[in-house]
Amino acid sequence: MVDLVRMTYGHSGADSKTNSLGQRPMQARVYEARAAQFLLLKAPPAAGKSRALMFLALDKLENQGVKKVVVAVPETSIGSSFRSTDLTSYGFWADWHVEPQWNLCLSGEDGMAKSQKVKAFEAFMDSDARVIVCTHATFRFAFDAIEKARGVEAFDDFLIAVDEFHHVAAADDNRLGEILRKLLAREKAHMMAMTGSYFRGDSVPVLRPEDEARFKSITYSYYEQLEGYEHLKSLGISYSFYRGRYISAIPDVLDTDRKTIIHIPHRGSAEAFGEKHDEVGLIMGAIGEHVGRDPDTGFDLVKRASDGKVLKIADLVDDGDGRDGIKAALQEETKGPNGKRDDEADKAKVDIIIALGMAKEGFDWPWCEHALTIGYRNSLTEIVQIIGRATRDAPGKPHAQFTNLVAEPGVETTVVADAVNDMLKAISGAMLMEQVLAPNFKFYRREDGDIRAPVETMKDGTVHIGIKGLMEPPTARARAIVENDMNELVAKACQAMDRRVVADDVAPEVATQMVLTDIIETTYENLSDDETESVRQDLAARMNLIGMAKRASQDGGFAEEGEEYDAEPSENLSLMNMVKRFVNVRELDIDLIDSVNPFKEGFDVASRAFDTPLLKTIQDAMISQRIQMTEKEALTLWPRIKRFRAQEGREPNPHSADPLEKRLAEAHAYIKTKKAERQRAAQSGT
């Protein structure tokens, strides 16, 4: 098992420090923007989004004429995050109070019929209560009924807060998205959208561009959160292979001394081999002997085979009557005599959680050290959400790990090519997480004599980096894309990872120039060539910077030319220190960035986990998927062909053992053939 991504952070403790109002840095940033009518908060899981809403909502109720607050969450288990909360003890001027009957997530909403949910919401509308918490579905049903009876104006002067906003899409068949667009168009309600993952798994945009432009956007990056933690210092993302059934690999990848969430495969996937209950039983059997069930919590008790220790396992896969009790036991914090959380007792409450569709977004278990996910996940959003379960800061938790256990694409795999493509998707998920975990970089063109520091962290958390030769956005539209849309473009770039960007015969320029340009041109219509190129250069820099800094650290490349450098091991360097050292020593220019293929870098790291037969199987599958030469690729490779001729004194050899030289020869032959065809056409036309 090898880490595709390993991030080390500075653990400054800043994220746990509060201001005079009891607000953590992200919450203070949101509160400063409280006057905005429409607010979009992008912050990672466990960043404190629920409390950020509380501060903002109380101000809107008290000072901005808002009459009522509706908090909509995707599932009932998340509703507990918005229960009544003491804020005054920590410096704020009011407490957050939700009367129990108006937190429908805690008062049996799951068991209500649709008509009951609507009646409960209508009763709230007619009451003096100021806050209701419900699911997205209940809000949809209630809105439809209330709009029909009273008109959309019934929601004037309401604050509509939508948690886990990536469930909303701009597609016309997304009912919640349609409701929010109605409220936006009327301009009488306030709105706060919160998400920990702004790219939706089905790739439908969350907001239409014209709608998003009306939101004040607040971004608190994963990097800012993890850098500011007090205890958690590093995060690893890895995957491991199994042959046959995944149960056989459980003893190798599951360390039962670490608090772990296991997500079993989706039903109907290739990795699922039986009834979900049977798979849970086999996982427990791989750990030890089932000896009973705790009557108070519903947790299964399993005696570990290695030493006889009894482990407490919460089974969230079983959707029978006992699951509500298990969910309640997990949500209940163990407190000491002083009324505060008893860390040791709360940590000891449960050892392992096994889940299928639950324990993802909004699920709070700060002691989780390891998220073990079995089977490929096509949704990048789902991967981000699962990893977020392990990235809470907690005492005695210096490291968090995400492991994806996947089928080895070997000879026994039914379709080897499909298995290889699935494996590339898994690697692309790790690449995306590396970008999600990075600081919010902003690049600018650096000229000779520039007195600014080449790397500078600004007050808002952005990191400004100068790059020589960088084309800055020439228009307001290109500038808006670079400032607002890079997360989306990075996600699309990672999803484009396939054979055409990782095979040995692929030149870096094909990835950084041709593929990235295709993505931008497909996403945005009618961009000029200069607009497209400026966005492409920013995207290439964003995707390559961290990998280049890591490689320089591992290779001892931080030394100035002619000097020796006693390098600190790269795993001990915080991410930001690594980037600063790299940029300070090696002047960045766009040609250097374009010379590195970020996709191939990720694949090469992953391939360290492959044995020789597996690597050959993968390479053979890629060779069998040869990509036809196109005019676009040939023209992209033309500068490299000219360099090859100048350096080697000959043309690329189509029979070379070097796959890249063979590809250059194909491109050269393609160009010569096309040139001859055009000359013949020109002659015949005269």
pLDDT 10s digits, 188-234? 999 999 987 655 444 566 667 778 778 898 888 888 888 888 899 88
Q: Among 87-96, 352-361, 432-441, 600-609, which is the least confidently predicted range?
A: 600-609
Predicted confidence band at 6 (pLDDT cuts at 50, 70, 90)?
A: confident
Q: Please determine, for residue 559, whether its predicted confidence score (pLDDT) is greater than 50.
A: no
User: Could you give the CA distance from residue 380 to residue 363 in angstroms, rounded to a whole number?
Assistant: 18
Burial group, residue 396, by CB count within 10 angstroms (0-12, 13-18, 19+): exposed
Whether the pLDDT of residue 585 is over 90: the answer is no
Neighbouring residues of 563: CB distance < 8 A, sequence distance ≥ 6: none
* Between 580 and 530, residue with greater pLDDT: 530
Q: Which helix (H) or strand (E) holds 501?
A: helix 499-502
* CATH tag, 12-221: 3.40.50.300
DSSP states of 512-527 as a string? IIIIHHHHHHHHSTT-
Report the chain's C-alpha Rg in angstroms: 27
Residue 395 has pLDDT above 80, yes or no: yes
For residue 608, the SS3 value is coil
Average pLDDT of span 48-72? 97
Strand ranges (DSSP E) for 2-81? 2-8, 38-42, 68-73
Same fold, 12-221 and 231-407: yes
Higher pLDDT, 553 or 343: 343
Percent of the chain with pLDDT over 70: 84
Q: Where are the domains of the chain?
A: 12-221, 231-407, 436-626, 628-686
Q: Is residue 519 predicted with pLDDT exceeding 80? A: yes
Digit-coded pLDDT (tens) for 347-394: 999 999 999 988 776 678 999 999 999 988 777 777 877 888 898 899
Q: Which residues pair with 468 in a beta bridge?
A: 589
Q: Would you call 234 helix, strand, or coil by DSSP?
A: strand
The answer to which of 62-71, 149-158, 306-315, 443-452 has the lowest mean pLDDT is 443-452
Angle formed by the axes of helices 575-585 and 529-554, to 10°?
110
| Residue 355 and residue 263 in contact, taking contact as beta carbons nearer than 8 Å | yes
- Is the model's pLDDT at 482 over the cut of 60? yes
pLDDT band at residue 639, thresholds of 50, 70 and 90?
A: confident
CB 332 within 8 A of CB 324: no
When pLDDT is averaged across residues 531-535 and rounded to a whole number, the result is 95
Question: Can you state the percent helix, strand and coil of the chain, rounding each to 5?
Answer: 45, 15, 40
- Answer whether 465's CB lies under 8 Å from 583's CB: yes
DSSP state for residue 502 in the 8-state scheme: H
pLDDT more than 90, % of the chain: 37
Is the pLDDT at 284 greater than 50, yes or no? Answer: yes
Strands 440-445 and 462-467: parallel
Cα 510 to chain center, whole Å?
26
Please check whether residue 461 is in contact with residue 226, taking contact to mean a CB–CB distance below 8 angstroms.
no
Residue 99 has pLDDT above 80, yes or no: yes
In this prediction, residue 242 carries a pLDDT of 85
For the segment 475-480, the average pLDDT, to the nearest whole number, is: 92
pLDDT at 601 over 50: yes
Looking at residues 294-308, what average pLDDT do you find?
Answer: 95
CATH code of 231-407, in short, is 3.40.50.300
Pairing mode, strands 2-8 and 234-242: antiparallel
**Contact yes or no for 338/368 (Cβ under 8 A):** no
Give 606 or 213, the one with higher predicted confidence: 213
Lowest mean pLDDT among 160-174, 212-226, 241-255, 554-568: 554-568
CA-to-CA distance for 657 and 654, rounded, in angstroms? 9
pLDDT at 98: 95
The rounded mean pLDDT for the chain is: 83
